[in-house]
Every structure is written in structure tokens, then in C-alpha cells.
Structure 1
């Protein structure tokens, strides 16, 4: 994608935040917006790879805070770290290594939290 098309998820995230602030959307819309926003931040936002290399972290472009760059070794390195508790410290370091990846990681975590809250709110008699 060229130009502004790479950043479509930020618009979805802004609509999600506006939906929470105004209570204009129902829980289903908030859940869908949260899922789309989390997908964008974890698998589609343009960031640096940051995978562990021989001398330092990789500086190639990648898509998503949990995905690697075009190199085969880096492609699933971060995603696999989710499943090994011994690697969680390294994953945390890679997800919060610079401003871009930190913003993407925080946005993804907020989107997941929003989805959980939108799911639980009707169950506990809130809002809608």
C-alpha cells in the first residue's frame, strides 16, 4: 500500500475511541472495531522488524508488532515468543524498543482490552 493506505488502522482505532467516549455504538460494533484494530496493530502496522540478529536487532521494515521482516528466520520469531515463557522478557523488549513499536503495542493492547470490556459490559448490566 502506498501513502495513507498503510495507516487505515489508526482511523479504525479513532472510531473505536469515539465509540467508547460517546456510547453511540452497541457492544457488537465495539467488539468488531476492537478486533479489527488489534489485527491492524499486531499484524499490519508498518514498524521495524526488531528481531534478534547476530550483532544487533534487525532494522528492516516489517508489518505488525508481532511479525518479522522479509527474512525467513525473522518472519515468525516474535509470534513464536508468545508461547515460550522463557522468551517473554525478550518479546517485551522487542515490542517496546522504540516509539513506533511501543505505540503499536499499546494500541493493540488497548484494542484487546476494549474488546474484552465490550463483551463483558452487557453481561454485567452496563450501558446498552
Structure 2
């Protein structure tokens, strides 16, 4: 295997680094080997990955249905500026929250990314509150 082929494979893997962080986060919760600060950091990094960098389809509403361009993150649109604004506006306007509940669950890829992000946020909140209300580490 040449250096060029290896770098090409590693570049392709680089898009999916957040899944490794998420697996370490899950392992940390299952084994209780990490403290709450490490779990909060891993949760934040995982949430950032799933919401803003994971490779998924855009899914913004267009004339011909949902956009099928590649996008970075569940909450970001594709290269079209209008699609980026359309998806970001859904977060801040209550009238568009119904659409926000549907778009992250359009297909298997976006559903997995959305669930990963939701679990990462939940993990961050739980690891912050656990030492305050639970037994602690």
C-alpha cells in the first residue's frame, strides 16, 4: 500500500472521526472509568460532530422536494446559501419547529446522526447533573 493510497483512505476516514469519539463516550458511560469532566467534554465534541460536521444529505425544502446535496451536519445546509439559512432559521423560529422535528429523521443516515447528537447532549446534561444529585464518582 503506497503513501498516496493510505492518505486517501485516511482522508475518507477523517469525515467519520466523531463516531470514534461517540464510541469512547458510550464506553465511558458503560464502564464508569471516566470522570464527569471527561464525559462532558466527550459529549460536547460528539454533539458538535453530529450537529455540524457529520456527512449527511441536506434535506432542505426545495421546489422538487428535499434537497439531495451533501451537507455537513444535521443542522447545516448544503453549499447553497439559502439552504444553510433555511435550516438555521428552523432552530430560532417556533413556527418552523414542526419542520425541524421532521427533517433530522428523513432517512437512516440523518436519523443516526440526529440520535447520536441527541444522546450526546443528553449525556452532557446527565454527566453534569450526576455528581450533584447522584452518588458521584
Structure of larger gyration radius:
2
Please name the residue that 1:123 is paired with.
Answer: 132
For 2:19, the equivalent position in structure 1 comes to: 10
- Does the CA-based 8 Å contact 1:81-1:87 persist in structure 2? yes
Q: Pairwise CA RMSD of aligned residues?
A: 1.1
Q: How many residues align?
A: 128
Runs of 4+ with deviation above 6 angstroms:
none
Unaligned stretches of 5+ residues in structure 2: 1-9
Please state which structure has a larger fraction of its residues in helix: 2
Report 1:43-54 matches (<5 A). 43-54=52-63
Looking at structure 2, the residues matched to 75 and 10 of structure 1 have their Cα atoms a distance apart, in angstroms, of: 24
Normalised TM-score (structure 1): 0.96
Structure 1 Cα separation of the partners of residues 134 and 67 of structure 2: 48
Q: CA deviation at 1:76?
A: 2.6
Whole-angstrom distance in 1 between the partners of 2:97 and 2:69: 22
Q: Distance in 2 between matches of 1:102 and 1:126?
A: 33
Residue 77 (structure 1) aligns with:
86
Structure 1 gaps of 5+ residues are: none
